[in-house]
Amino acid sequence: MNFFKVFLFLVFISAVTNAQDIVGKWKTIDDTTGKERSIVEIYKKGDKLYGKIARILDESERGNLCEECKGSDHNKPIEGMVILKGLEKDGDEYEDGTILDPENGKVYRCKIWIDEENPNVLNVRGYIAFLYRTQQWLKV
């Protein structure tokens, strides 16, 4: 009986730790230039994860608006904008959410997970059907 209690405790701690590892601030890197772009703050709201652009690192881009965004995000400041929405836990990943690309205003399905080889790397995948692109964000 004690073994079962310890096992359940370890499973619970593992699940909580995984969510806590993802929650926090992550530095985004431009795929093309390799330049550091922004700091995204990932936070938990209910059972889902969300992420907002907490800071744009290039001072000349800090006042940029999301001109290509649709709906309520149209012409809103990119800094402070929620770009990750509604990610739900599934094993070691969070998925079934969306990610907004403020460069073009497009919204993609998304999943995120901590890199198996480096816990300071967050894999962020945006996709449409079987086409996808994965970025690696760095823990701040």
Min mean pLDDT across 16-20, 60-64, 84-88 is at 16-20
Q: Is the pLDDT of residue 37 over 70?
A: yes
Domains of the chain: 2-139 (2.40.128.520)
Task: Give the type of residue at 135.
Answer: Q
pLDDT per position as a tens digit, 38-70: 999 999 999 999 999 999 999 999 999 999 999
- pLDDT value for 1: 53
**Using CA atoms, how far apart are residues 40 and 88, in angstroms rounded to an integer?**
18
pLDDT of 13 higher than 80: no
The mean per-residue pLDDT over the stretch 109-113 comes to 98
Residues 98 and 109 sit within 8 Å (Cβ to Cβ): yes
Task: Return the DSSP state at 77.
Answer: B
Mean pLDDT score across all residues of the chain: 89
Of 31, 28, 12, the closest CA to residue 20 belongs to 12
Q: 4 pLDDT band (50/70/90 cuts)? A: very low
pLDDT of residue 36 exceeding 50: yes
Of 10-19, 64-73, 125-134, the range with the lowest mean pLDDT is: 10-19
Query: Which stretches of 1-140 are assigned E, i.e. beta strand?
Result: 24-29, 36-45, 48-56, 82-90, 93-101, 106-114, 121-128, 131-139
What is the structure's pLDDT at 19? 54
